[in-house]
A and B are shown apart, each in its own frame.
Chain A
């Protein structure tokens, strides 16, 4: 299944070991087996036929967070992330997925199922915590710290087209990720409000589905492809200047992951490249027009200290890191404080924190330490996965709120003239 280009790339790993310094799992374990170089070596032996796929081979590959730090850093330019993703397709081929993952994928592959699961989670959560007072954990996150799902899927609360009140300056399509649709509806509302106030018309295609990154990044290409093709058909045919996302993972999937996946599978990737060319993170659009935003200039008292966490899929997946910072610096009453290791993985990694509980916890602890060291009251970020992880692990007494950058922008908007 491996494409020749990927195999060729593997031989460019000269085993220098420099990837150790950026790999979150190596830094915790200090074992080559958990380092990009060691994992690449396992893939090499597999391709050469000396290693068969085994639970340990699977562990080596599935314990990688796919944070892309190694690929971004590799002196030889080896696309380690792509190599591992290909190997995961191979794993899925042979192993299939554990029951919990199959349920997750089944839910994500169909919106109605996803909503039912989310509603069940909502009911279950309030039953367990509010009624029975149980202290349970999902992965590393105490169940009471999991966000309560939306009362209604966000997409169902939104018309297909929203036009700005004042002069129209552009038109975008909004790709609504599962997280916004099911959990963080407020982020979606903030997106819409900010875009409309900028004079941008927003189209929200109603039949769009999950971007499928959680599936194909886990090696489940078969479940992912129907969703991918459906979204590509929808977003390739809509006439807009840009396709906007508020989720780093969806964004990097549409921009990079899907075209590469299709290429690696030997499929036609033309349509996905056309779509990819239009994909923009919301922070890119806002940063571009930040001077046109009607921002409230009523700063009183102490400025609010905000620190920014770079989601892996935003900084390395989409190449976006300066834009959210630019936005935050331009908000009156906000003072941006940099944290050490802002671009290092938070330990969440989507479902990683549920599959690799111990490793994930250690990585998150480091992040938590860096956040506390800034003394910031708010952590802004651009990925619902990071948000879930960070909010779930920051304790109650430190009063640190985790938000999407766009929500802070919305809070700063001047009141709309009646």
Chain B
């Protein structure tokens, strides 16, 4: 990038919010994926107008722009693979309005998900999308990746709560989509189109989301299974029985052993799978649902069922699941958290496949899953400095994806495509779907400057 362009860009936001110092650039060359690439300048706009002015310059000069939030994303969405500008939106961090009368909140993209959760919770409401990274993930990032979380099974993902957006397009135009109404069928649903577009269609600068009342109570049950098949059969049986838990999580033996080794929580290390189930709602319904779930678990040969009597006990049960990623991370320096998703009925088949593929490639893997929605997180642990091992990990990923697709699944449940999954797009979508996607990209971003090198 020419120096005078950098100067022009820096002038838009002021010298305090622009930098091209190498010491600063290295801190914006990565996210939680394994690759790294340096940008040429990092800008921290605080208004839609500033973002628009930045895009006008970038568009005129054909400079690549990678938008970025907290950078906790796992598929490489915020790595500026073609250099250029990183537009970091973390300083646009105001909750602009919470309107409990019409069940909406309006926020800037840099608001951290958990901060919004806390703000609405105080008022008796809940914003359901709750990615595991919610304490650092920004709202802009969660919208751009259509993030989910443990509550997805009952409450859905980000797109299900998104009502409207303000988005700066590649040429600097400001697009407003949707609005503050819960119902809206005016024209194409551009809001949903932009949700999950990973910064390839525009830069989100304002977000309107829907809130729901906070559930009155919740109950947690843990069940241990000798056989993995029984474990996932139980998942299907619970759902078939007409109960939709808020969360229904599974951990395989490797994961449970890793957690036990690191944290000594007293988990059974000889079982093939553990389920954690949380139901929420009114107290009377919960009582009935827990009984019904316990009956199903027994029928599916659970060897041990623990129902938490109170919140503290529930917290202890959930600690095992919350510690899973951490425990796996401590085995080796690096980790790829896969994100393939299959229909719930094929969960066991997919887990078996994952383990078989990783064993064949000599890779250690632990699997935990949002079992209720079929979203698997096989975590492959490795050392990035061992190039040969890293190649084996990538090979295992290559082999995993077709298996998931063959089982009726999808490339990504919630982490997105980014760099990690981009090569697999032709496997997951047919030529017609790809053609339409490229047409949309060409319309929104004719010069291809928005987050280039990513999935489209």
Contacts and interface: CB of A to CB of B under 8 A. Distances in A.
Contact of B133 (A17, A54, A60, A76): A17
B26 interface: yes
A15 interface: yes
Interface string B284-303: 00000000000000000000
B72 A57 contact: no
A17 B32 contact: yes
Interface in A270-313: none
B110 interface: yes
Contact of A32 (B21, B28, B93, B325): B28
A33 B23 contact: yes
A45 B335 CA distance: 20
B385 A11 contact: yes
Given A42-B26, A54-B23, A31 B72 contact: no
B423 interface: no
A14 B72 contact: no
Contacts of A16: 32, 72, 133, 329
A33 to B, nearest CB: 5
Given A14-B329, A21-B135, A56-B24, A30 B32 contact: no
Contact of A20 (B26, B31, B91, B136): B136
Contact of B30 (A11, A15, A56): A15
Nearest to B21: A56
A278 to B, nearest CB: 28
B109 to A, nearest CB: 12
A410 to B, nearest CB: 36
B133 to A, nearest CB: 7
Interface string B122-150: 00000000000101100000000000000
B334 interface: yes
Given A16-B32, A20-B70, A51 B23 contact: yes
Nearest to A11: B333
Interface residues of A, number: 29
Nearest to A10: B333
A77 interface: yes
Given A11-B333, A12-B333, A16-B32, A31 B23 contact: no
Interface in A57-113: 57, 60, 75-77
A42 to B, nearest CB: 6
A30 B136 contact: no
Nearest to B136: A20
Given A14-B32, A18-B135, A76 B326 contact: yes
B67 interface: no
A155 to B, nearest CB: 44
Given A31-B44, A31-B90, A75-B325, A14 B335 contact: yes
Contacts of A32: 27-28, 71
Given A18-B136, A56-B21, A75-B325, A41 B27 contact: yes
B133 A56 contact: no
Interface string B195-225: 0000000000000000000000000000000
Nearest to A38: B27
B24 A51 contact: no
B326 A51 contact: no
B383 interface: yes
B133 A18 contact: yes
B362 interface: no
B366 to A, nearest CB: 14
B352 interface: no
A33 B90 CA distance: 13
B419 to A, nearest CB: 14
Nearest to B115: A21
B384 interface: yes
B330 interface: yes
Q: Is the interface of B mostly helix, strand, loop or mixed?
A: loop
Given A41-B30, A75-B326, A56 B90 contact: no
A20 B93 CA distance: 14
A17 B28 contact: no
A39 B31 CA distance: 14
Interface in B310-351: 325-326, 329-330, 333-335
A57 B335 contact: no
Contacts of B335: 14
A417 B31 CA distance: 67
B241 interface: no
A45 B112 CA distance: 28
A42 B136 CA distance: 20
Nearest to A45: B26
Contacts of A77: 329-330
Given A17-B32, A17-B70, A75 B329 contact: yes
Interface in A4-32: 11-12, 14-18, 20-21, 30-32
Given A12-B333, A35-B27, A77-B329, 15 more contacts: A11-B385, A12-B329, A12-B330, A17-B70, A17-B72, A17-B133, A21-B135, A30-B93, A31-B44, A33-B27, A41-B30, A42-B23, A42-B26, A54-B23, A57-B23
Nearest to B383: A11
Contacts of A54: 23
B334 A14 contact: yes
Given A17-B32, A18-B135, A32-B28, A60 B72 contact: no
A21 B113 CA distance: 11
B15 interface: no
Contact of B329 (A38, A45, A57, A76): A76
A15 B35 CA distance: 11
Contact of B31 (A15, A51, A76): A15
A18 B321 CA distance: 17
Interface in B13-30: 21-24, 26-30
Nearest to A59: B23
A33 B17 CA distance: 13
A11 B32 contact: no
A31 B133 CA distance: 17
Interface in B355-406: 383-385
Interface string A242-257: 0000000000000000
A30 B31 CA distance: 15
Contacts of B31: 15, 17
B72 A18 contact: yes
Nearest to A13: B333
A141 B289 CA distance: 59
Contacts of B23: 33, 42, 51, 54, 56-57, 60
Contacts of B24: 33, 56
B364 to A, nearest CB: 15
